[in-house]
Every structure is written in structure tokens, then in C-alpha cells.
Amino acid sequence: MNKYALLILALTLSACGAPENNSAEGHDGADAPAQAVKGPHNGRLLADGSFAIELAIFETGLPPEYHAWPTLDGKPVPLDQVDLTVQLTRLNKNEEFSFAPQADYLRGDHVVREPHSFIVKVIAIHAGKTREWSYESFEGRTTIASDIAEAAGIKTEVAGSAQLAQTLTLYGRIVPDPAHERQVSARYPGLIRAVSKKLGDHVDAGAALAQIESNESLQTYTVTAPIGGIVTARNANQGEQSGDRALFAIMDPSSVWAELSVFPRDRTKVRAGAAVRVKSADSDVVVEGKVDRVDVLAGANQAVTARVTLKNPNGEFVSGGFVTAEVAVAERTVPLAVKTTGLQPFRDFTVVYEQVGDTYEVRMLELGEQHGEWVEVLGGLEPGARYVTESSYVIKADIEKSGASHVH
């Protein structure tokens, strides 16, 4: 996407970003509007006449939990005289909190899990009267229309199980695949009358390489390319005798070998058939393959060679070039994993963005092992959730722009 297109996209996102009442969140766990009144405990003060509830999310030295302080005419109300309930409407799940007296406050009965992004409904019963308040408390959430998301390159997948491959890093170089090389000689020795191809030329199978006049029959015949590829050697010039030497060498670069060095400490780990991801040392090109075989004879450096056949249709891997390879040496299936391409930092967390309709919201992750493109998820995301795998930075930028994140 060019700079002009990115500018248009940014302007469009500015017009369709987060809800209007998303503002910087206070320590009460709410994206409080500017007019929200704070109480003496730095919580949100919810008043109805002379009765008020101050509600805050407390998280200093312990997991986030609700604390509440009821007052009447500005004075504390006996805690056992107030029946308090807090209902949270999340993007994909609802929760309800009951409260019980604790020291000089009412304490919620369980942890307020991240993200603190929800519509809050507070119900307080005191002296036979029921009072209710409702407000929005969003963080890490934004809305982007589907056509804008598509234009921004945002892609999603459903979270589920995955196979994590434990890998071993090996180094090596690219060499020609012998099955895709040919040495071309004259069928009948004779005088080379003409040469039609030079070193480095691309040739198709059957292309004319040279004209030879047979010494025996004095008939001229054509030497042709047995395969398509590149002329990597030419040992033929007009007016020479062909003899029985190789006149041309042709290599088809669509298939090459990666020769990887396996040192003694790793020999027992690398086996034929293991999956391999090979990356060029001078580019971002990555190709997947399998170990064809592991040599049994060590070289002067005591390493044995593991060979991998790589498909190379566009010629990104050049013979003689160095490569880095990740060889799978063990696998295990985990019940939940996400692609590392979707990970983003958010506050002190590593997150992905879950998609529900046109809304995207952070999911703070507890992560396990990472291997290759996958990382195990131990908590923070439900199986079956649809999350952003590509261009997640667009979501992050729009959330930061809208101020839909808070600082604890």
C-alpha cells in the first residue's frame, strides 16, 4: 500500500474509530467521561440524592477487584445495610459481582478480569430503596467497518489447537540438485560448426546448443538441451573438435539442495523426514521442505551433512548462497495457540485482538511455549474466538489514537 493510500486509510479510520464516549480511563477501571465525579478513594462516585456509592477497581499488590464505599449525606453507611450488585456486559460475555463487607468497604466476590472493557450496571439496595446506575467503561476496543478493515489488510483466524514443533537451528548453503543437472556431450565426435548458446543463457528443453559435423559420416547434426534451465558451463567453440568431453552443463534451478551442517551434539536429533523451514541469509525468502537424508560420514569439522530438497521456482535460492534452517526435532499438540504475527504489546501485556462483528478488542494473553509461527496460549483467550493475525498494528494504532486504553 503506498503512502497516499495509507494517508486516506488513516483519515477514514479517524472518522470511524472508537465510540465517542471512549476517553482515558481512571483508576476506577472506567473510561470515565470528563464530567465523572471522583470520590475520596479515587473511584467513580455514583450519587442518587443524599445516597452515594463510590466504586473502584483496586489492584495494588493483588489481582483487580471491586471495592465500594456507600455513604449517606457524605457519611459512611453501615456495610451490612447495603445490598450491592455490579453487572458487566462485555463484548462476548456477561458477569455479575456480589459484595460483602471487608474492613471499611464492600468487596467484590471475584477478580475483575482483563480487559476492563464493559458496560457497567450498579444496583444498590439500602433502606428498602433500590437505586441503579449505568455507564460505559471501554478500553482496548475500537470499531472498524469491514471494507476499511479489508483495505487495511486486516486478516483474522479462529483460535484453536495447533501442533508446536520444537526446532533446531542449523546453517548451511545451497547447492545444485543433481537430479536437475545435465552434462551435454556430442553424440558423434566431430567438428563444431556453430555454437548458439553462451554461459548464463536460459534454455528450454530441446533448444539447439551447437551444430556438429560428424567425423565419420560428415553429416551435420544438432546438439540439443536435454532439460530446461541455465547454461552453467560451456566448453565448446566454433572450429574445435568436440571429442568426448562435456560441451555444456545445464542446471534447472527450480529445485535445489540445502546442505546443512549437523554437529556431533545434534546428530541424534536430526532425522530423515523431519520438517524444515529454510531461510536465505540475504533475503526474507523462506521455503519449507523435509530432510531427505543425513550423511553417515563426518567432514573435517566433525559435522555431518543433512540434505533438504527445496522447490525454487522463482530462483530466490542461488547455488553457493548461505541459508539458516529450522529443523523440527519434536512435536506436540496444544489445545490453544495463536500465530505470532497477531501479537502486539498493550500496557504490560502481550495481546491479540479479538473480532466480534466490526468491533475489535484486546485479549491479554498468558503465553506458553513458542515454536515457529505459533505460540501456546494458557489463558486470556477462548477457543473458537476469531482474532487478528495480520495487520494487527492497524488495530493498535486506532485504539491508541482514540484513547481507548488506560494506564494502571
Domain end (from 251, 274, 297): 251
Q: What average pLDDT values come out for the chain (408 residues) when binned by 10 residues?
A: 43 43 36 70 96 95 94 96 97 94 96 95 97 95 95 96 89 95 96 96 97 96 96 96 96 95 93 92 88 92 94 90 92 93 94 96 94 91 96 93 57
Instruction: Clarify whether residues 294 and 172 are in a common domain.
Output: yes
Instruction: Report yes or no on 28 lying in a domain.
Output: yes
Instruction: Report the CATH number that the domain containing residue 299 is assigned in CATH.
Output: 2.40.30.170
| Residue pLDDT, tens place only, 46-80 | 999 999 999 999 988 889 999 999 999 999 999 99
Cell numbers for 94, please give them.
Answer: 456477561
Cα–Cα distances in Å, from 393 out to 19, 25, 148, 244, 290?
Answer: 19, 22, 14, 63, 33
pLDDT value of residue 387: 98
Instruction: Report yes or no on 297 lying in a domain.
Output: yes
* Count of the separate structural domains present in the chain: 4
Instruction: Report the CATH number that the domain containing residue 385 is assigned in CATH.
Output: 2.40.420.20
Instruction: Clarify whether residues 172 and 316 are in a common domain.
Output: yes
* Cis preceding linkage at 115, omega within 30: yes
Instruction: Report the CATH number that the domain containing residue 42 is assigned in CATH.
Output: 2.60.40.3340
Asked if residue 23 lies in contact with residue 33, where contact means CB atoms within 8 angstroms, the answer is: yes
The number of residues making up the chain comes to 408
Helices 3-15, 392-402: inter-axial angle, 10-degree rounding? 50
Domain end (from 251, 267, 298): 251
pLDDT value of residue 35: 65
Instruction: Clarify whether residues 30 and 111 are in a common domain.
Output: yes
Cell numbers for 47, please give them.
Answer: 450519587
pLDDT value of residue 25: 34
pLDDT value of residue 165: 80
Instruction: Report yes or no on 18 lying in a domain.
Output: no
The pair phi, psi for residue 180, each rounded to 5°, is: -115, 30
Instruction: Clarify whether residues 172 and 281 are in a common domain.
Output: yes
